[in-house]
Amino acid sequence: MNQHYQELISRIKEIAVLGSCGAVLGWDERTFMPLAAAAHRGSQMATLAKVGHQKLTDPYIGDLIDQCAAATLIADEQANVREIQRNYLRATKVPTELVEELARVTSEAQGVWQKAKETNDFALFRPWLEKIVALKRLEADSVGYEDSPYDALVDEFEPGARTSELKQLFAELARDLAPLVATINDRAKPVRHDLFEREFPVAIQEKLSREIAIAVGFDFSRGRLDTTAHPFCTGIGPGDCRILTRYHKNQPMESFFGTMHEAGHGLYEQGLDSEHWGTPLGSAASFGIHESQSRLWENLIGRSRTFWDGYFPKFKQAFGSVMDDVDCDEFWRLVNEVRPSLIRIDADEATYNLHIILRFELELALLTSELAVADLPDAWLSLFKKYFDLKVPDETRGCLQDIHWSFGGIGYFPTYTLGNLYAAQFMEKIEDDVPNLWDDVRGGELGGLTKWLRENIHRHGQRYRPSDLCERITGEPLSPLPFLNYLRTKFLDG
């Protein structure tokens, strides 16, 4: 192995260890940390971010990259150098002071956001969001862009993504979704909403959540499942992947589907090559590809009629008399009901992406100063009326419902829709490659699907950029058509 490459990888892995320390602190902050510790946690996160940024932007890293670029390396080594160089060039453009301030402000802002959401008080969170938006504008200006400052931010989450392309993709999707949702609603059969007025013991929900995570392949010897206000997954390092869900006594599917979703993320983290941990080859291709894994498990598998044909008897038995008068057909229609909703994470498959498009438009307006933070609640009401024809009753169920802006995740939301589109496009290929897929799903045998995902997506890490990975697997660039065809087949032809 080339000695310059060896030293470069050693230094990058050392930086990754700092990042994993931050991941542990972030997990603790959203699970067990006392609220009064927010300011100190902000200082901890800021210090880690500062040290990590200083190490990554050390000119010697640049020298090592140049030496590696001039050397003869194998394909995997070239891929690592390519992505390390990308990260290095981005990092060197952003002042360390800005990185430190962003880490400090966003760490503290998460606690303020949580309190603001609980008390329905946007005014409490407003000054913090104003700081975050201002800092993200500075970050975009530091990184640089050709067309839109949003390009500089979304590229962090989805390498190669451009605002102009997202606008076109989302416009095509929204154009076809509106009439499709209307047709689905016109043909829908009545749904029994009374089912979720009953009480489903949380202890049983916890048991089923753990069992379904195991069924899809999540390895509890290398991970754990906990509870939090806003479910998430974090890959801390080799042998340490943590998924989180939440429980509600009247909403058992929130934890069940939430666990399938986060387990999908967890499978990706556990499927990355541990030998390459800390390097691009040991890291996920993008947030959109990551989201494709969670969406595939939660929706394309977990909400499929085939899955419930096999799993419903076990689910019904677990809750006993609560489910005595419910059959599989009624249950499946309920958990797949299509109707506009206030909350993004509760949205059905057909309307979910409209929630993302709304946030995408608001983020663009905030970043370009077309929208002031103070006017965000009213702008939210207006766009929600446009896309959903619903009146938002309060800020808790409006612009305060998501944690993302509090941690500085401007540019993150589009990856959710990209994940939905990737998942549907991948599934078309999976159905070709795994001929007994749906028989296996009905029988609760999910290992064949996990194996395909390991082989075609997980093990590659960042060997390929997301758009290249999509074309390599499916033979086509990313398109909304497979997703739209999936919805039509499921809700209109099935």
Cα–Cα distances (Å) from 299 to 348, 412, 466, in that order, read 9, 20, 21
Q: Is 254 a catalytic residue?
A: no
DSSP per residue, 123-177? HHHHHHHHHHHHHHHHHHHHH--SS-HHHHHHHHHSTT--HHHHHHHHHHHHHHH
Q: Phi and psi of 318, rounded to 5°?
A: -60, -40
Which residues partner with 235 through β-bridges? Answer: 241
Closest CA to 452 of 432, 471, 480: 432
Closest CA to 281 of 15, 460, 89, 85: 460
Cα–Cα distances (Å) from 78 to 87, 258, 462, in that order, read 14, 37, 11
Task: Determine the distance from the C-alpha atom of residue 29 to the mean position of all C-alpha atoms in its chain, rounded to a whole number.
Answer: 19
Spell out the SS3 assignment of 423-456. HHHHHHHHHHHCCCHHHHHHCCCCHHHHHHHHHH
456 burial level (CB within 10 Å; 0-12, 13-18, 19+): middle
Q: Which of 29, 100, 156, 262 is flagged as catalytic?
A: 262
Closest CA to 261 of 231, 235, 288: 231
Cα gap 479→428, rounded to integer Å? 12
Cα–Cα distances (Å) from 445 to 214, 396, 449, 450, in that order, read 11, 40, 9, 10
Closest CA to 154 of 357, 296, 364: 364
Inter-helix orientation angle 414-433/349-367, to 10°: 140
Cα gap 342→401, rounded to integer Å? 9
Catalytic positions are 262
